[in-house]
Structure 1
Amino acid sequence: MYLKNVTPLIVVGRQRAGTRYLTEVLNSFDDVTIQGEIPNPVMRSLVKFIQESEKYYRGAAKWENPRRVREYQAWTEKKRDLIYAMWANTTQSRRLNPSPDCRYYGYKRPNNEFYFDFYEKHLADQKAVYVYCVRNFVDNYLSISSRWPDRTIEMVADDYLKSVEHYRKIKQAAPDRVLLFNLDDHIKYGFGYLDKNIIEKLDLDLKEDLRTYLAGMGAKNQTVNVSANPRREALTNEEEAYLLSRPALHTEFQKLCCDQSG
């Protein structure tokens, strides 16, 4: 692939919180290419492969043999291309070929904010930009449980709070490279929200015809397309009671909203 002068762009965050929609919007720009999702077992294998390769070449270079040092230097220069190739060729969907004008290149996968440290280390020469997708817990849970009925509210709640906590950590570590896409605000305020908080901050050229198209596209819920079950519209009494026992599910989301509006 040998992409030069591109910035890695990774769409992460909550499942059922607009990652697919946001990726479709970003891929509408000629200078952006976001590949599809990498299955979790494959992702773990890829990370292990990179880490073990890094360990070998770095260890060999410690012997201060000039040839080994050159091998390690060559590895560090090629490692970025290897990561880009993995994004292109290990996803569940068809590969997208970047245009000659590509400025942002990456992939999307919910929960992959947890690989932040990995990418910060192995893409150190080209720091990545991350877009974290989120929405309020209740709608997030109802959408997830409609798609995957075996996921209990306790399971989703624990995952939700861990994800939001990790967003705060990566935002603190890279404040200028971690953007927030709040699906609720996008639904409330329309395309202007996405334009202001994502498109403008990425300095993408939004031509009027593209603006008209994207504004009319809307964020569509995909649950009905991928699940035999209709989307749930309300919590059960037991789930309502559980929600009252975990006030952080509401307050932590509200903090994100305040951080962005402030």
Structure 2
Amino acid sequence: MLLNPVLDNARPLMVVGLPRCGTRFIANAFNKHPAVHLNGEIPHVTMKAAIEFVTATDEFFTSRDRVLTNRDNAYVTIESGWTTQRRELLYTMWASLPKSVPVALPDHSVGWYGHKTPNHDQFWEFYRDFFGGSGPKYVFCMRGFADNYISRDAIGAKPIAQVAKQYRAAVNRYADMKEALGDDVSLFILEDLREGGVDYLREVLFDRLSIPVSADVLTVIDPHTPANSSAQKGIEKRSLNDAERAFIAKNRDLVEALDAARSAQRI
């Protein structure tokens, strides 16, 4: 058995969305809940390779009813460990692939297990097909385009046009996920946290996803905790320069994109 027994009945839960929009903050808030255990970020290239392996293995076993044994003309039916333990392998990958050392699992059963990884929503269709009717629940993190771009630029982001392309893709992907998954995906908007505080967190993280939460858990979640590394370091947000303002003025869909996301509409 690969899987820690405390995860036997755990349903998948992931924090996804755009970088620099509070994924770490949300994961830390979730981990205050005794029934939730989320690991840190998994590198995109690593997870992509892992998914390719899982997909190829799944196709091999599920597309064949029988497999050769060590005798040339003998076959046995496949009721192998793969069909019964494929979920264990994926959960074990989630535990083994994060950039940082995962926090140790608790000594009690966990109801929700996963990780926080920006842009991991790119794999949502794989997870839908892999888990079937007991598929993952997601918190999808976003913020306004200008603030997202400035925050990403502070850590050496790509040109504004490339960030804009990724931003549009995220808005559209969220709309697709919401249409397909319904209440299993919840939108977290960083700007709304500042006004809504812990009540907003209760709604986005727990109420919308039907994850029971006690008042005791909510009291230990601090909505004023810095949401990303720049905020933790006290780095003040800069203003847009003339070229950046001109770019946004020519791309008005970026200004309207957050409202589109609130309505789960593509842009």
Same fold (TM over 0.5): yes
Residue 77 of structure 1, CA deviation: 1.7
- Kindly provide the CA deviation profile for residues 139-189 of structure 1, in whole angstroms up to 9, marking residues without a partner as x: 00000000124x111010000000110010011001020111111101122
Partner of 1:51: 55
Structure 1 or 2: more helix by fraction: 1
User: Which whole-Å CA distance do the structure 2 matches of 1:164 and 1:124 have between them?
Assistant: 24
Counterpart selection for 1:237 from 213, 220, 242: 242
Tell me: CA distance 1:81–1:9, structure 2 relative to 1, closer, same or farther (3 Å): same
The yes-or-no answer on 1:138 pairing with 2:142 is no
The code of the aligned residue for 2:19 comes to: Q
User: Which whole-Å CA distance do the structure 2 matches of 1:105 and 1:6 have between them?
Assistant: 6
Residue 40 of structure 1, CA deviation: 1.4
Residue 167 of structure 1: SS of its match in structure 2? Answer: helix
- Kindly provide the CA deviation profile for residues 28-61 of structure 1, in whole angstroms up to 9, marking residues without a partner as x: 1110000111111211110111011112112332
Q: What TM-score comes out, normalization by structure 2 length? A: 0.87
Partner of 1:195: 202
Tell me: CA distance 1:9–1:93, structure 2 relative to 1, closer, same or farther (3 Å): same
User: Which whole-Å CA distance do the structure 2 matches of 1:48 and 1:216 have between them?
Assistant: 38
Residue 206 of structure 1, CA deviation: 2.6
Residue 243 of structure 2: SS of its match in structure 1? Answer: helix
Equivalent residue runs for 1:32-43 within 5 Å = 32-43=36-47
User: Which whole-Å CA distance do the structure 2 matches of 1:216 and 1:246 have between them?
Assistant: 32
Partner of 1:27: 31
Partner of 2:71: none
Counterpart selection for 1:247 from 236, 239, 252: 252
Residue 219 of structure 1, CA deviation: 3.7
Residue 139 of structure 2: SS of its match in structure 1? Answer: strand
Counterpart selection for 2:78 from 48, 69, 92: 69
The code of the aligned residue for 1:235 comes to: L
Tell me: CA distance 1:193–1:135, structure 2 relative to 1, closer, same or farther (3 Å): same
Assess if the C-alpha contact under 8 Å between 2:44 and 2:120 holds in 1: no
Assess if the C-alpha contact under 8 Å between 1:187 and 1:219 holds in 2: no
Q: What residue ranges of structure 1 are gaps of 5+ in the alignment? A: none
User: Which whole-Å CA distance do the structure 1 matches of 2:65 and 2:256 have between them?
Assistant: 49
Tell me: CA distance 1:81–1:161, structure 2 relative to 1, closer, same or farther (3 Å): same
The code of the aligned residue for 2:175 comes to: R
Counterpart selection for 2:129 from 121, 126, 133: 121
Q: What TM-score comes out, normalization by structure 1 length? A: 0.88
Residue 94 of structure 2: SS of its match in structure 1? Answer: helix
Q: What residue ranges of structure 2 are gaps of 5+ in the alignment? A: 69-73
Counterpart selection for 2:117 from 106, 109, 117: 109
The code of the aligned residue for 1:70 comes to: E
Partner of 1:186: 193
Runs of 4 or more above 6 Å deviation:
62-66
Q: CA RMSD in A?
A: 2.4
Residue 132 of structure 1: SS of its match in structure 2? Answer: strand
Counterpart selection for 1:86 from 93, 96, 121: 93
Assess if the C-alpha contact under 8 Å between 1:32 and 1:98 holds in 2: no
Assess if the C-alpha contact under 8 Å between 2:32 and 2:220 holds in 1: no
Partner of 2:213: 205
